[in-house]
């Protein structure tokens, strides 16, 4: 048996025989034996300490900022035209609804301009009607001239076939018609080759479409498989997290199932093994998400390629149709050219048959006169057609002028584009107003916002929806962050942040300063220990761990501190007991005993406290 005496932070251990000897000496006079008189050979010194397990907490550091209360929207009303002010509605401080008339300007000149534009439109439409009538009459006359010209040419052909000159002309015409027929034949062949080319391109594209369709189907199957893997990974993380929550809710002193027993029922030998499984499941979840992203990108690419190919196929079909029409037209042209060549050959034969007498001049004069009349008629028709186009453009221009005049007239009655409070009026009745002058300034009804600026590091720590506390004239108001700019403000070198009060009815003077308190740094779900349990060796932070009765120094990396606790980033794990009491004799390797163990009987050992 061993007996433990505790006095002034020391634990003294005696054997049972030594303890009986002490009792025999002190039993009558009940005097205490000074500790320094005990035999060192039978004593062992231990330090009484308090200890705690690291706690998982969320810490944050708050900072103060100065912001400005601003209207969420401010609208400036500026006249678009210069005119005399006829009426000014409302006064500064009045509330207006969107669409309410703010002021009117003298629109007499605009109305005159609108009347003139309407008159110009009617005149242009009348001119267009006359031009169309003239064009239609010219077309009818030209059709009659074409018939007369055809008859003249037939008559002249019969006459000119009887003279040598006409014979030579007919020979040239025959040769030319032959060349044109050859050229038309080549064009027809080329058009058919082009048509066949597009047919081949369509077949190749349709073959490619089958491959892309199969690729799209494969990409869709891969995406579905990846999404199934992602769902399975998410379910695994959820299940393991629930086990961890159940484990943490089992009290350490519960007489029922212990935390270790609970872990074994779900297949884990220790909480470290469970944490490792959670980390592995979270890694699988991250990998599954990456696979989903990759498969989704591949599927989108396959779809885009297929859509692009469909567009290409449609374009090829249109080009094939165009080439087919061209080939058909070329074939017709070739046929017509052949007929023209044949006609020229027959005319030459007539020349060899008929006489070449004095009727040549008359025949030529008749042909030339007829051609000139036809050309003049054609020119007149084209001129009248151009006149129709010109007058039609004039009508369109007149219509545009009417619309412009209507738009300009609307500028003389100005209504509020928003609902809000008028903060400024800079015009008055019977005075001039113009585009260079702000007439009204209206601050919208939307709740005001508090604008303040923070450094880049603080902006990255904040997020939309974070709570803030507003302070104004000794009062505090709850609020939240509504906007964090992702671009630095060039005038301040900081990032703009906007917040709004939780109470939408809160009204503060616009452009007034407001003090805010908001979290500038955060550390969520981290291991923490009491601040007083952390020691420093120069710049190195460390704690002492109670390792089965021995104090063990652990160098740690610290983070945020709040409310008497400090974040421990590295150096300890959640299941280790940290010594939280101070003692001048405490050092690495010291024997320690937790205060809650003093006075307990453990086997043949007895712990006795000496006051």
Residue 48's pLDDT band, with cuts at 50, 70 and 90, is: very high
pLDDT for 392:
93
Question: Residue 34: which of 74, 65, 5, 75 has the closest Cα?
Answer: 5
Is residue 51 a contact partner of residue 38, using CB atoms and an 8 Å limit? Answer: no
3-state secondary structure of 604: coil
Burial of 337 (0-12, 13-18, 19+ CB in 10 A): buried
List, in order, residues 6 or more apart from 251 with CB less than 8 Å away. none
Q: Does residue 573 sit in helix, strand or coil?
A: coil
By CB atoms closer than 10 A (0-12, 13-18, 19+), residue 327 is buried
pLDDT computed for residue 44 by the predictor:
52
Q: What's the chain's average pLDDT?
A: 86
Least confident of 23-27, 69-73, 273-277, 337-341: 23-27
Residue 27 has pLDDT above 60, yes or no: no
Residue 407's pLDDT band (cuts 50, 70, 90): very high
Is the CB of residue 259 less than 8 Å from the CB of residue 271? yes
User: What per-residue confidence (pLDDT) applies to 164?
Assistant: 74
Distances (CA, A) of 356 to 89, 129, 160, 163, 351: 98, 53, 7, 3, 8
Query: pLDDT value at position 610?
Result: 33
Q: Are strands 592-594 and 47-49 parallel, antiparallel or unpaired?
A: parallel
In this structure, are residues 530 and 556 in contact, taking their beta carbons and an 8 Å threshold? no
pLDDT at position 289:
94
Tell me: pLDDT of 227 over 60: yes
Please state the separation of Cα 602 from the chain's center in Å: 67
pLDDT interval class at 598 (50, 70, 90): low
The CA-atom distances, in angstroms, between 111 and each of 78, 124, 396, 400, 411 are 21, 20, 20, 16, 12
Supply the pLDDT for residue 254: 54
Specify the pTM.
Answer: 0.35
Strand order from edge to edge, sheet including 440-444 = 74-77, 440-444, 420-425, 95-96
pLDDT attached to residue 165: 80
DSSP structure class, residue 41:
G
Q: Please check the confidence at residue 521 and state whether its pLDDT lies above 50.
A: yes
Structure-token pair, residue 508? 């503060």
Smallest CA-to-CA distance from 13 within 47, 42, 48, 49 is with 42
Q: In what order do the strands lie in the sheet with 601-602?
A: 592-594, 47-49, 10-15, 2-7, 605-609, 601-602
Highest-pLDDT range among 2-6, 79-83, 593-597, 598-602: 79-83
Per-residue model confidence (pLDDT) at position 523 = 86
Express as a percent the part of the chain with pLDDT over 70. 90
Tokens linked to 598 = 């003093």
**Confidence category of residue 379, pLDDT binned at 50, 70, 90:** very high
State how far the Cα of 443 lies from the Cα of 81, in Å rounded to an integer. 23
CA distance 433 to 102: 13
How does residue 20 score in pLDDT terms, banded at 50, 70 and 90? very low
Q: Is the pLDDT of residue 186 over 80?
A: yes
Q: Which two tokens stand for residue 406?
A: 């209507």
Which residue shows structure tokens 């501190």? 561
Distance, CA of 227 to CA of 294 (rounded, Å): 11
3-state secondary structure of 592: strand
Return the CATH architecture of domain 74-106+412-441: Beta Barrel (2.40)
Supply the pLDDT for residue 352. 82
Mean pLDDT for 529-544 is: 95
Say what the pLDDT of residue 446 is.
72
Domains 74-106+412-441 and 167-353 share a fold: no
pLDDT, residue 252, reads 60
Identify the pLDDT of residue 11: 40
Residues 305-310: what's their mean pLDDT?
91
Q: Which residue has the higher pLDDT, 596 or 50?
A: 50
Expressed in percent and rounded to 5, the helix, strand and coil fractions of the chain are 50, 25, 25
d(CA 206, CA 198): 12
Confidence of residue 167 (pLDDT cuts 50, 70, 90): confident
Asked if 496 and 485 touch (Cβ cutoff 8 Å), the reply is yes
DSSP string, 443-454: EESSPPEEEEEE
d(CA 296, CA 302): 10
**Cα 448 from Cα 428, distance rounded (Å):** 30
Identify the pLDDT of residue 411.
93
- Distance CA(274)–CA(268), nearest Å, equals 6
For residue 40, what pLDDT band results from cuts at 50, 70 and 90? very low
pLDDT at 338 over 60: yes
Beta carbons of 343 and 177 less than 8 angstroms apart: yes
Radius of gyration of the chain (CA): 51
- Running DSSP on this structure, what letter comes out for residue 36? G
Phi, psi of 82 (to 5 degrees): -100, 125
Over residues 233-258, mean pLDDT: 83
What tokens appear for 200 in the block? 């081949």
If we measure between CA atoms, which residue out of 391, 400, 392 comes closest to residue 117? 400
Determine the CATH number of domain 167-353.
1.10.287
Residue boundaries of the structural domains of the chain = 1-46+591-611, 74-106+412-441, 109-162+356-410, 167-353
Which range (4-18, 254-268, 376-390, 539-553) has the least confidence? 4-18
Half-sphere exposure of 251 (CA within 13 A, CB side): 4
Torsion from C-alpha of 349, 355, 361, 366, nearest 10 degrees = -60
Tell me 591's DSSP state: B
Whether pLDDT at 275 is above 50: yes
Total number of residues shown for the chain? 611
CA separation for the pair 218, 303 (Å, rounded): 11
Tokens representing 20? 């009986």
| 123 contacts: CB under 8 Å, gap ≥ 6 | 398
> What confidence score (pLDDT) does residue 54 get?
95
Q: What is the reported pLDDT for 34? A: 52
């Amino acid at each position: 048996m061993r007996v433990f005496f505790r006095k002034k932070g020391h634990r003294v251990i005696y054997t049972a025989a030594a303890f009986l000897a002490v009792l025999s000496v002190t039993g009558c006079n009940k005097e205490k034996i000074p500790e320094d008189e005990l035999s060192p050979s039978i004593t062992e010194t231990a330090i009484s300490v308090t200890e705690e397990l690291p706690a998982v907490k969320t810490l944050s550091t708050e900072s103060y900022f100065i912001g400005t209360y601003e209207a969420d929207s401010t609208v400036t009303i500026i006249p678009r035209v210069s005119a005399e002010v006829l009426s000014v509605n409302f006064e500064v401080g009045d509330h207006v609804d969107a669409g309410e008339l703010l002021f009117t300007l003298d629109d007499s000149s605009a109305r005159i301009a609108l009347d003139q534009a309407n008159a110009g439109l009617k005149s242009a439409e009348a001119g267009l009607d006359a031009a169309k009538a003239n064009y239609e009459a010219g077309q009818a006359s030209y059709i009659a001239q074409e018939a007369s010209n055809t008859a003249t040419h037939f008559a002249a052909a019969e006459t000119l076939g009887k003279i040598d000159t006409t014979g030579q002309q007919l020979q040239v015409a025959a040769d030319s018609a032959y060349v044109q027929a050859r050229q038309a034949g080549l064009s027809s062949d080329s058009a058919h080759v082009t048509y066949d080319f597009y047919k081949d391109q369509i077949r190749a594209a349709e073959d490619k479409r089958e491959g892309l369709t199969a690729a799209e189907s494969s990409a869709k199957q891969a995406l579905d498989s990846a999404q199934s893997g992602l769902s399975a990974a998410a379910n695994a993380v959820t299940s393991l997290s629930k086990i961890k929550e159940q484990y943490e809710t089992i009290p350490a002193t519960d007489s029922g199932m212990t935390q270790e027993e609970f872990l074994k029922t779900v297949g884990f030998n220790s909480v470290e093994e469970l944490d490792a499984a959670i980390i592995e499941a979270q890694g699988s979840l991250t990998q599954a998400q990456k696979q989903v992203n990759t498969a989704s990108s591949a599927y989108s690419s396959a779809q885009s390629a297929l859509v692009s190919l469909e567009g290409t196929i449609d374009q090829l079909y249109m080009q094939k149709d165009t080439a087919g029409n061209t080939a058909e037209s070329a074939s017709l042209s070739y046929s017509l050219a052949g007929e023209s060549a044949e006609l020229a050959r027959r005319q030459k034969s007539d020349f060899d048959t008929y006489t070449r007498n004095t009727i040549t001049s008359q025949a030529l004069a008749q042909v030339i006169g007829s051609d000139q009349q036809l050309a003049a008629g054609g020119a007149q028709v084209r001129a009248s057609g151009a006149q129709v186009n010109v007058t039609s453009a004039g009508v369109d221009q007149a219509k545009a002028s009417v619309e412009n005049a209507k738009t300009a007239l609307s500028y003389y009655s100005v209504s509020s584009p928003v609902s809000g409070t008028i903060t400024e009026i800079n015009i008055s009745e019977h005075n001039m107003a113009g585009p260079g002058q702000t007439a009204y300034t209206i601050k919208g009804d939307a709740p005001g916002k508090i604008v303040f600026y923070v450094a880049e590091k603080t902006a990255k720590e904040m997020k939309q929806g974070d709570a803030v506390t507003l302070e104004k004239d000794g009062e505090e108001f709850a609020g939240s962050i509504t906007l964090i700019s992702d671009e630095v403000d060039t005038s301040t070198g900081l990032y703009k942040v906007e917040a709004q009060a939780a109470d939408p009815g809160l009204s503060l003077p616009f452009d007034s300063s407001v003090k805010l308190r908001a979290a500038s740094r955060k550390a969520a779900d981290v291991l923490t220990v009491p601040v007083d349990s952390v020691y420093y060796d120069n710049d190195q932070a460390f704690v002492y761990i109670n390792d089965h009765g021995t104090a063990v120094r652990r160098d740690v990396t610290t983070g945020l501190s709040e409310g008497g606790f400090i974040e421990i980033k590295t150096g300890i794990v959640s299941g280790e007991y940290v010594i939280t009491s101070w003692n001048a004799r405490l050092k690495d390797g010291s024997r320690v005993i937790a205060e809650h163990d003093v006075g307990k009987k453990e086997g043949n050992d007895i712990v006795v406290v000496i006051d």
